[in-house]
Amino acid sequence: MKGYFISRNYKSLFNAAGKAKTDCESILAEMGFKNLGFKQSSIPNSAIGTIKNFLGITYALLRLPFNSTLCTQYPLNKFRSYVLGIAKLKRCNIITIVHDVRYLKGRTGNSDKELQKIISSNAIIVHNDAMKNWFLEQGVKIPIVVLGIFDYILNDGLPDQNNAVTGEKPHEIVYAGGFGEGKNSYIYDLDVLDKKDFTMNLYGIGFNDDKLKTNKEESILSYKGAFPSDIVAYHIKGSFGLVWDGISTKECSGQYGQYLRYNNPHKTSLYILCGLPVIVWDKAAISTFIKDNNIGFTISNLDDLSDKLKNLSTEEYQKMKKNVNQVRTKIISGGYLNDAINHALKDSITHKNDK
């Protein structure tokens, strides 16, 4: 059975969500799936991008063979119903890679409407077991495959600037992401923690020195700039990566913080790719992956971070680094999506035959 996908226009090279989707396209192509649409592009103008997407999708659907496999990505906000409608008319096997669930993200109050957009497929690929369990609780009957972690493709090989394994103290903690209201406003509170025997290297758009709660010279926060998602990995330097979102250092709270209970933040893959063990909120869904692979540690409250780092031995850190090296080799090669797609293909066909 031949497999196909439809490439599209992505607005921003700085956007992590765009990077995840373009990487999925690259991995599918490497697996032998064929792009039926126009060549992937990054036109920032929304109107032009929308027109290009519509024309490219229409061109692709005209070429889509009957009884073939079509791999889609969700969200595809404007044209998903159009794509699925034609694909079903052509009796295609539809596999959907789920990047975000807007209901779980607090962006919509109607879960049923969104569910129908997602599960109008023969199989879906979701982030982790927590997200899978949510779909099962909604009564979803189609096969649900767990990805584990997002892959992260780079053209110039694995970054090597963090290869040292000594774990020298004080540790340099990395946070990468856009600095918007509610997303990570807790960052500015790190300067007023009772204990802060670490420094923070920050990467991303929107950091504001005016929000610092101490003098810049005394701050543990060091803003390093913003870089496109395909090269930022070669600029990040530190000893750990931090996965923590929301408005508080006490827990991951607020809309973005609570979403960590279900999603796999793309920054997790970025940190691992950079050779960094990961520090993550203990109630985050991705924390299971971090613990199972021994590639970092979990924490319930950032007030405890200094003590946790102080009690971490050199041997423990070196073991984490060794495990990170194993995982990142699979991440850069597209291994996690490759496994998930193969499972989804098998499960969707079995599910069809059992009907």
Please name which of 288, 245, 239, 282 lies closest in space to residue 267, comparing C-alpha atoms. 245
Report pLDDT for 107: 86
Report pLDDT for 166: 66
- Cα(247)–Cα(335) distance, rounded to whole angstroms? 34
Q: Could you tell me the two tokens for 250?
A: 């006490």
Give the model confidence (pLDDT) of 173-183 as tens digits.
999 998 877 78
Do 93 and 192 fall within a single domain? no
Give the model confidence (pLDDT) of 81-132 as tens digits.
999 999 999 999 999 999 999 999 988 888 999 999 999 999 999 999 999 9
306 CB-near residues (< 8 Å, 6+ apart): 193, 195, 196, 197, 198
Do 300 and 346 fall within a single domain? no
- Cα(242)–Cα(302) distance, rounded to whole angstroms? 10
Find the CATH number of the domain harbouring 84: 3.40.50.2000
Please name which of 82, 153, 81, 90 lies closest in space to residue 117, comparing C-alpha atoms. 81
Do 137 and 32 fall within a single domain? yes
14 CB-near residues (< 8 Å, 6+ apart): 205, 226, 227, 228, 229
What dihedral angle (degrees, nearest 10) is formed by the CA atoms of 331, 335, 340, 345?
A: 150
Do 128 and 244 fall within a single domain? no
Only one residue has tokens 């439809």, namely 6
Please state, as a whole number, how many other Cβ atoms lie within 10 Å of the Cβ of residue 304: 12
Domain annotation covers residue 157: no
Domain annotation covers residue 238: yes
Do 338 and 319 fall within a single domain? no
- Cα(119)–Cα(132) distance, rounded to whole angstroms? 12
Q: Could you tell me the two tokens for 53?
A: 């997407």
Count up the domains in the chain and report the number. Answer: 2
With contact defined as beta carbons under 8 Å apart, do 35 and 102 qualify? no
Report pLDDT for 234: 97
95 CB-near residues (< 8 Å, 6+ apart): 69, 70, 71, 72, 121, 122, 123, 124, 125, 341, 344, 345, 348
Pairing of strands 34-35, 3-5: parallel
Q: Could you tell me the two tokens for 59?
A: 């061109």
Domain annotation covers residue 314: yes
Only one residue has tokens 């999506």, namely 337
Do 70 and 7 fall within a single domain? yes
With contact defined as beta carbons under 8 Å apart, do 147 and 127 qualify? yes
Q: Where are the alpha helices (DSSP H) in the chain?
A: 16-31, 46-63, 80-89, 111-119, 129-137, 254-259, 266-273, 287-292, 305-310, 314-332, 335-354
Do 260 and 281 fall within a single domain? yes
With contact defined as beta carbons under 8 Å apart, do 167 and 239 qualify? yes
Pairing of strands 93-98, 123-126: parallel
Do 197 and 344 fall within a single domain? no
Do 35 and 83 fall within a single domain? yes
Domain annotation covers residue 163: no
72 CB-near residues (< 8 Å, 6+ apart): 5, 6, 80, 83, 84, 87, 94, 95, 96, 97, 121
Do 179 and 281 fall within a single domain? yes
- Residue ranges for the chain with pLDDT beneath 50: none
Domain annotation covers residue 297: yes
DSSP letter, residue 9: B
* Burial of residue 295 (number of CB atoms within 10 Å: 0-12, 13-18, 19+): buried
With contact defined as beta carbons under 8 Å apart, do 6 and 57 qualify? yes
Do 328 and 188 fall within a single domain? yes
Report pLDDT for 92: 96
Query: Residue 288: which domain range?
Result: 171-332
Domain annotation covers residue 166: no
With contact defined as beta carbons under 8 Å apart, do 199 and 170 qualify? yes
Report pLDDT for 2: 77
Please name which of 237, 222, 226 lies closest in space to residue 191, comparing C-alpha atoms. 222
Domain annotation covers residue 162: no
Do 57 and 90 fall within a single domain? yes
